[in-house]
Amino acid sequence: MASKLYTDDVSLVVVLLDVNPFFWGGALKKTTTTTTNSPSVLSFSNFLNHVLPFLNSILLLNQLNQVVVIASGANTCGYIYDSSETNTSEAGVGGSGRMPDLCERVLGSLEEFVVNDQRTGWGADPTAANAASGMLSGSLSLALCYIQRVVRGGLLHPQPRILCVQGSPDGPEQYVAVMNSIFSAQRSMVPIDSCVIGVQHSAFLQQASYITGGVYLKPQQLDGLFQYLSMVFATDLHSRNFIQLPKPVGVDFRASCFCHKKTIDMGYVCSVCLSIFCKQHKKCSTCGSEFNHPHLEPISTSEQK
């Protein structure tokens, strides 16, 4: 496997952009209501102003670097941009002239994506709770699929990593899907970096970065987002062995229960399949094994005597 990698810092960065309208709409409201332009709130266009130069800078660092952008909206997620496609088509291998092209293509497909995303949402109940939380699990899976294709494909492939730029709060109902993606990322040794631009910390991403060996960061000053991105997240995996990077302060390891999708501190765990429940059940809903009932407890204690 190691022989299939390029010798130094060639990387494939899959960027997951949060384009959830519920989050950005909320952010916009805050910027308009507060008179002083608070540094902790960012409008979507400003956000893109920070992200696009970052994408460029990754492409600039090495001619063989590759960037893929995946948008996660309220109802769907999809590929927005793939730098390898430009290479083969009209722009050629030269690498120059990519930037205006990049900007145009990202913005074009983003617009298309948002319209489609909205249309898919029409059928569903707009007040549904899951809309506010975005499609982290879906976009993570897309990213991992893409990386698998690259890794299994050619003889030589760049070192893959994922960067989640997330603003929306976690959706506890996605717990199982997200955790599964995280573990498969861990298995295929793909670090997940996370940059949280929302108000709260994201427990999902804290765990994702912790488990996969990525970097978790919640920037203090969002108006300097580009500097955070270029200081921390532009570091290739090779250089990470030598550079001081933000260390996790504390990781929220709380799980969601499988029955009501609530985040819980304490719960019941199936001894067979490790499913988590907030209440005691007679039977595990995942694997079907039957549990001991509480009335057996006094008997077991008396036996111990």
Partner 1 sequence: MPQVRILAKNFMDMVAALPATKLDKLYENPFICEAVLRSLPPLAKKYALQLLFIDSPISAKTMEGWVLADGISKHRVAIDRLLQLRVFLEEIDRKKESTYKLNPKFQGNIQKYLVYGGSLPRQPMPSNVTVRLPTSVDLETYALEQWEGFLLQLISSSQVEKLTSFSASMMKFFQRGLLSPRENEAPKLTENGFQFLLMDTNAQLWYIIREYISTAEGRGVEQMDLISFLLELSFHTMGEAYNLNTLTDIQRSVIKDLANLGLVKLQQGRKESWFIPTKLATNLSVSLSDSSARKQGFVVVETNFRMYSYSTSKLHCEILRLFSRIEYQLPNLIVGAITKESLYNAFENGITSDQIISFLQENAHPRVAERIPAVPENVTDQIRLWENDRNRVEMALAHVYEDFPSKEVFEATCDFARDMGGLLWEDTDKKRLVIRGEYHQDMKDFLRRQK
> How far is it, in rounded angstroms, from Cα 268 to Cα 278?
6
Stretch that binds partner 1, among 22-30, 53-61, 259-267, 281-289 (CB under 8 A): 53-61
Stretch that binds partner 1, among 93-101, 124-132, 247-255, 278-286 (CB under 8 A): 93-101
Q: Are strands 11-18 and 159-166 parallel, antiparallel or unpaired?
A: parallel
> How far is it, in rounded angstroms, from Cα 274 to Cα 44?
40
Residues binding partner 1: what is the number (CB under 8 A)? 42
What's the chain's length in residues? 305
Q: Assess 153 for contact with partner 1 (CB under 8 A).
A: no
Which of 30, 46, 48, 91 touches partner 1 by CB under 8 A?
91
Three-state SS for 40-73 is: CCCCHHHHHHHHHHHHHHHHHHCCCCEEEEEEEC
Map the footprint of partner 1 across residues 242-271, applying CB under 8 A: 242-244
Q: Assess 92 for contact with partner 1 (CB under 8 A).
A: yes
Can you spell out the DSSP letters for 107-132? HHHHHHHHHHHHHHHHHS-TT-GGGG
Q: CB nearer to partner 1: give 36 or 244.
A: 244
Cβ 216 vs Cβ 170: under 8 Å? no
Which of 36, 122, 155, 279 touches partner 1 by CB under 8 A?
155
Q: Assess 57 for contact with partner 1 (CB under 8 A).
A: yes
CB of 56 to partner 1, least distance (A): 5
Place of tokens 């400003």: 46
Which of 48, 99, 189, 276 touches partner 1 by CB under 8 A?
99
Name 216's bridge partners.
194
Residues that bind partner 1 (CB under 8 A): 3, 6-10, 53, 56-57, 60-64, 91-103, 155-156, 226-227, 230-231, 234-236, 238-239, 241-244
